[in-house]
Structure 1
């Protein structure tokens, strides 16, 4: 049973944020010059929800509608279960943290801070009038949470004179394959890039029974790699056609990733898997992306319930994310920020991942990070 089995539309909304033409991920993919993309939909969702605690009217309505909930209370009650579960895990496996930085000339609304605390968020007073010191404090927090994988999410220039509150979320995951790849079997193989160039990539090899799904009509093939750590898994979606990644992403946008994951065969099918060893790092300006998926009021509408002294709106929204996949397992993470200013053994099936593909790391039915490798 998934965390959100009692709230299907809510869980579906989270999944859509990773894979949809109508949601974040496909917009990120389309707008990126570099088609090696990694994004944490859960990180984006978390900060939107945190901001919704202090918002009413159109600002709150857009967030609630985007996340597929009936109302704000439904949204927050469901998220509380997930937040507590993720926050209670071994930090060497999964670190899931929020922090609210409030400028020392302002004070947080009592209701807002109580809601934030109820979801295990941290809250700290900071002097945004000292940009160098403020940036250093925030970056040190992010670096600690991501084990040094993300060391600078903000610069001095990002700390503007009218900054009142900074909301930050960090997700860090380091999982180990249930059955590791044998490093001695890793070989250089050809990989056809998104611009139809043949390049050499180190391909890991595994011959094992894996959950498998194929839909010839949709042009989709999929395998699932379990991690040793319970409930975590990586899904690899391989287009049947050499240039089929965009089409696959569009189809997933209409159904959600779980539509395919839940149709996988739990059988003794032996997969002859060749998977690239890879590393991706991405930076995203979410202020350019969120309005395309229906979230625009946060950037100009007033939220009166965040701080006591003045209404606020979001000035900047951004995310850095990374993933490393090798023979032993995967390391992945993301840091997301909102800057808020006052208003202004049978026959084997070959599965050679030698073309652009989609991947996602899931905890149960929740997508932690999703990405594409195209070159």
Structure 2
């Protein structure tokens, strides 16, 4: 079996706390799950388009709209009524301002951790060689502050526990304790999500969000062979390519002027996720910027559920993306500004009434560390092989082989919840973020 493992580690350093106020099970009784899915996909594509415009086309890009949405939904409950809260809801909902208050609860419920955290177990043991998606979130608050009791209780409903640390008295110790927790949650893969001096003495809380996805292809790929990847500006890069042995679903979109393929993962019946990797490559002569601008949910749904597709074999580059990105610039460009203004107490509703604190309460910074790797063997030691999965290349001799040898968009999509988990752009298979 061929493994793909991706990890995202986000940290939100804030000068405030966040407050959650709705029970997930209760919300599911009154909220339309299809509405939640549409909302989350619209936000995902909007976030990607904003980031892609702000970054050079020659740079790789990788985001997790799911993680960003989770953080924003938590922060929104701690914001003061009016503009700060409305800005977050408007960006998450991507809809008309007139109906924000009416549908805010259902909009935020799209990012409940419980939608993604049900473990799949066979004979009381997890299937380690199949697709798994888990989220791990935690709030670290300053121990000298009094947090609202309802806030502490309701964060548990979202799968987000509160841990108190000496953030203001000893921020260096707090940083080490946060890093230690993240290291345990990621099996030692990430040991330093917070660099030294990330927490300042006026910080009140830090929120972390980790997303883990591990998956094996439902059908194996051939071993790597060398090939040429054509970067922008007529630059070339020699790199390893892998070829699918079985055909995958393919759509040639005239609207986008791009080729889209869907690569499924191995998922047993009864699993809580149904992931696939979507690759979108512009037709020859079509700028990737044009494809990014025209990308919408309708095209994705046509590939996933329409009847206009055919099947091809594909040849794609092996790649690994790792690094960190600051999200504040992207979010401000999308319209979320008030929570970042230092002189405003835009998150004052998060602390218990009467709590004394120094200064204003606002978001200090948003940083994410992320890793995404695709190859034919696996990553981080998670390698599994099944003799029964052997397929000869000549079993499918009549299928066209489509080579992804120029910049393309990739999307990790969960068909069970109809959610975009990751979205990115590969401009250089040997480069970093």
1:30-75 CA deviation, whole Å, 9 max, x = no partner? 3335621111111110000011121232211111111116433223
Q: Secondary structure at the match of 1:35?
A: coil
Is residue 2:317 matched to residue 1:273? Answer: no
Q: Which runs of 5+ in 1 are unaligned?
A: 332-344
Distance change (3 Å), C-alpha of 1:169 and 1:29? same
Distance change (3 Å), C-alpha of 1:78 and 1:324? closer
1 CA distance for matches of 2:31 and 2:263? 23
Please provide the CA RMSD for this pair. Answer: 2.6
Q: Which runs of 5+ in 2 are unaligned?
A: 1-27, 94-99, 121-125, 268-272, 381-395, 429-433
Q: TM (normalized to structure 2)?
A: 0.74
For 1:290, which of 331, 354, 358 is the aligned residue?
A: 331
- How far off its partner does 1:217 sit? 4.0
Higher RCO (C-alpha 8 Å, min separation 6)? 2
Whichever structure has more strand as a proportion of its residues is 1
2 CA distance for matches of 1:257 and 1:304? 41
Distance change (3 Å), C-alpha of 1:207 and 1:266? farther
1:227-246 CA deviation, whole Å, 9 max, x = no partner? 11350111111111355221
- How far off its partner does 1:5 sit? 9.5
Distance change (3 Å), C-alpha of 1:73 and 1:217? closer
For 2:229, which of 191, 196, 207 is the aligned residue?
A: 191
Once the two structures are overlaid, the 10-residue window that deviates more, 37-46 or 193-202, is 193-202
- How far off its partner does 1:7 sit? 4.4
Q: Secondary structure at the match of 2:36?
A: helix
For 1:351, which of 384, 389, 402 is the aligned residue?
A: 402
Q: Secondary structure at the match of 1:87?
A: coil
**Who is 1:258 aligned against?**
300
**Who is 2:371 aligned against?**
322
1 CA distance for matches of 2:319 and 2:47? 23
1:126-172 CA deviation, whole Å, 9 max, x = no partner? 11121221111112222222333333221221110100011111101
Is residue 2:152 matched to residue 1:142? Answer: no
- How far off its partner does 1:312 sit? 2.2
Q: Do the aligned residues in 2 keep the contact of 1:272 with 1:349 (CA within 8 Å)?
A: yes
Distance change (3 Å), C-alpha of 1:260 and 1:298? farther
Distance change (3 Å), C-alpha of 1:305 and 1:160? same
**Who is 1:176 aligned against?**
216
**Who is 2:197 aligned against?**
157
Distance change (3 Å), C-alpha of 1:77 and 1:286? closer
**Who is 2:104 aligned against?**
72
Q: How many residues align?
A: 351
